[in-house]
Every structure is written in C-alpha cells, then in structure tokens.
Amino acid sequence: MRSRFEPDRQLTTRMAVTMFLLGLLYVAFIAALIVLLKSVVLVVVIAAALLGAQYWYSDRIALYAMRGRLVTPEEQPHLHGVVDRLCASADMPKPRVAVSDMDLPNAFATGRNADHAVVCVTTGLMRRLETEELEGVLAHELSHVAHRDVAVITIASFLGVIAGLIVRFAFYSQLFGGRSQRDQNTAVVFLAVMAVSALVYAISFLLIRALSRYRELAADRAAAMLTAKPSALASALTKVSGDIARIPTEDLRTAQAFNAFFFTPALGPGTAVANLFSTHPTLERRLEALAELSAELGEAGGEPGGE
C-alpha cells in the first residue's frame, strides 16, 4: 500500500543509480578479493554473512549502539500519539517507537522495510521541541521509511563496512601470521588487498554521501508537505543544530557512526571542504529549501525558524 507522502522521482532515480553503481563495485570487489586471497568460499561466506546481518538486524544494531529501547503507548503516550497521527495522515503502517536516553537532540529511522521499521528519538530531542516541531521531525523520519531510502542506505553502507573489515583482517593476518607467510608474495598480496579495499571504501563513501544529502532534502520536503508546516520543521532544525554545536565533542564522537541515519548530523559547524563529504546538506541549504516551500504553500507565520 502506497503512503500519502509525496513521491520523489529524483530520489527514486538516485537510489537506483547508486545501488546499481555500488552493485557493480561490489561484484568487482568480491572478484578482486577472490583473485588476491585465492579463497572463493572464505570471501563469499564472509560477505554473505555480513550483508545478511546488516540487512536483517540493522534496527537492533542501531538501537543497541544508540542505547535505544522500544517503548509502549503507556510509557510514552505523547510520542506515540504524534506517531499515530502522522501515520494516519500518511496512510502507512505504524513503525515501532523507541527512545534513546541521550542528551544529544536527534532522531533516526531504521529497518529493512515499512513493516519492520523503528523510529527512535532521544530524550534530549523531546525535551527541547514543541509538539509541532516534534511532528515535523518525526514526519521527516517517517518519510525515510515510506520512500524506502532507509533500507537503501543500510544496504549501500554495507560495502564500505566490509571494505574496512577486510583491511583490518588483512592487517592482523599479516601482523600475526607465521614467519613462512611473510615472504615477498604475501607482502604483495597484502598491499594489493589494502589498496583495493581502500579504493572501494573511498568510492562507496562518496556515492553514499551524495545520495544521503539529497535524501535529507527530500525528507524535509515530504515532511513539510505532509504536515503543511514547513516553518515548524525549520524551527526544529534551527534548535537541534544549535544545541548539537554545544554538545561536548566526546559525546558527539560516540554517535557519529550513525550520522547518515540522523535527522541532523552529530557534528559542530564544519568547513566548506568538510561539508562536501557530509551526510547532510548544510543547515542554511535546508532552511532555504523550507522557506521556498513555505512561500509555495502560502504558510502564515513569517520566516521559517522564526517566532
């Protein structure tokens, strides 16, 4: 059943192209590893196991890493009420609802499809936002589920993960291998595996970042269209981004591995170069897009993010 979230053909096209390119890269990567490591069974079994684990258990892994727990309507009636209203408006299945006991103000959605999705918000986010702002953030996350880009990002990030693991595996195998293995041929294979893995990681990194930035803009637009309140979402963005900049750096580092899934990245203000490799558009770009949408809708209430 299709949801009422506004479809985004550009997002669908970008997801398809990204998955196609990553698929080609993945096949080439596996083929290169088989040639270099001379073990079809080892490479295929490890790759399949990691892909399966990431696809089927991504929601559990993310919740565990972010100290999230599923909550019932009795435990969080206000949060469930907001999700219920949005899902009814969007005509989509209600995902499981979770809360992370973190001061970092953020939210994320994860899961392989709409029937196995989880939307998680932090206590820091709920404490800082008004109801309309919280609705905007949750509508943003639900649009990721409806557009299926959560599953795409989960699968797409797999290649970078396995490339990194291969680098570590090759390093420790060389480091702790027996003396007989440390000959010239082994060293050449070791360096080749490292080089191929590094190249694959770099390419997948850039492809995922490009898709991630666009999908955030698409989710902002879809959320604002569903709620008809772009200024509420803009206000939430301004509040959350400003507060994240004041969170201690050591606390941000623990959450940065999940930046691609967050409503807004767990980073302070970045340089122009850093923004090119960010998982999200700049705050200014997101607010500008919401201001344009607010003008299109003729929304009352002045500038987005204002009072």
Q: List all residues 6 or more positions away from 301 whose beta carbon is below 8 Å from its beta carbon.
A: 231
Bigger pLDDT: 148 vs 307? 148
pLDDT tier, 22 (very low <50, low <70, confident <90, very high otherwise): confident
The one catalytic residue in 133, 135, 141, 299 is 141
pLDDT tier, 256 (very low <50, low <70, confident <90, very high otherwise): low
Distance CA 124, CA 127 (A): 5
299 is in an annotated binding site: no
Residue with tokens 């399966």: 52
- Comparing 76-85, 145-154, 249-258, 291-300, the range with the smallest average pLDDT is 249-258
- Comparing 72-76, 91-95, 209-213, 272-276, the range with the smallest average pLDDT is 272-276
Q: Is 292 a catalytic residue?
A: no
Distance CA 198, CA 210 (A): 19
140 is in an annotated binding site: yes
Q: What is the pLDDT of residues 149-167, one digit of tens each?
A: 888 887 777 666 666 666 5
Helices (H), the chain: 9-37, 40-65, 77-90, 123-128, 131-146, 149-176, 184-227, 230-244, 249-253, 272-276, 283-297
Percentage of the chain beyond pLDDT 70 is: 76
**188: its two tokens:** 């050449």
292 is in an annotated binding site: no
Q: Is the pLDDT of residue 245 over 70?
A: no
Q: Is the pLDDT of residue 180 over 50?
A: no
Give the 3-state secondary structure of residue 236: helix
